[in-house]
Amino acid sequence: MGYKVLKKKLICPGQYEYTIEAPFVTRNAKAGQFVILRVEEEGERFPLTIADANPETGELTLVFMAIGYSTKKLASIEAGEEVLDITGPLGKPTHIEKYGTVVCIAGGYGAAPCYLIAKAFKDAGNKVYMITGARTKDLIFWQDKMEKASTQLFITTDDGSLGVKGFGTQVLKELMDKEKIDYVIAVGPMPMMKAVADLTRGTGIKTEASMNPIMVDGTGMCGACRLTVGGKVKFACVEGPDFDAHQIDFDEVINRTKIYKDEESKRNQDCNLLKK
pLDDT at 261: 54
What pLDDT is recorded for position 67? 87
Residue 263 clears pLDDT 80, i.e. is over it: no
Residue 214 reports pLDDT greater than 60 = yes
More confident call, 273 vs 160 = 160
pLDDT confidence tier of residue 211, bands split at 50, 70 and 90: very high
pLDDT of residue 258: 74
pLDDT (tens digit per residue) in 90-118:
999 999 999 999 999 998 777 888 999 99
pLDDT(265) > 70: no
C-alpha torsion angle, residues 150, 153, 158, 162 (rounded to 10): 130
Query: pLDDT of 35-69, one tens digit each?
Result: 999 998 888 888 999 999 999 999 999 999 998 88
Predicted confidence at residue 1, as pLDDT, reads: 66
Of residues 126, 109, 125, the one with CA closest to residue 183? 126
What pLDDT band is residue 259 in, cutting at 50, 70 and 90? low
User: What pLDDT was estimated at residue 260?
Assistant: 58
- Domain spanning 101-255 has what CATH number? 3.40.50.80
149-177 average pLDDT score: 95
pLDDT value at 187 more than 60: yes
Provide the residue ranges of all domains of the chain, joining segments of one domain with +: 3-90, 101-255
Q: How would you write 216-271 as a 3-class SS string?
A: CCCCCCCCCCEEEECCEEEEHHHHCCEEECCCECHHHHHHHHHHHHHHHHHHHHHH
Residue 268: predicted pLDDT? 42
Q: Which range, of 2-16, 19-33, 138-152, 249-263, averages the lowest pLDDT?
A: 249-263
pLDDT at 267 over 50: no
pLDDT at residue 171 is higher than 60: yes
pLDDT-derived band at 272, boundaries 50, 70, 90? very low
pLDDT at 224: 82
Following CA atoms 262, 264, 270, 273 in sequence, which dihedral angle do they give, to the nearest 10 degrees? -100
Nearest to 183 by CA among 259, 246, 141: 246
Per-residue pLDDT at 134 exceeds 60: yes
Helix (H) / strand (E) containing 134? strand 127-134
Range with lowest mean pLDDT among 32-41, 124-133, 186-195, 264-273? 264-273
Q: What is the pLDDT of residue 237?
A: 87
Phi, psi at 24, each rounded to 5°: -70, -20
**Residues 236 and 213: beta-carbon distance below 8 Å:** yes
CATH code linked to domain 3-90: 2.40.30.10
Q: What is the mean pLDDT of the chain?
A: 90
User: Three-state DSSP class for 155?
Assistant: strand
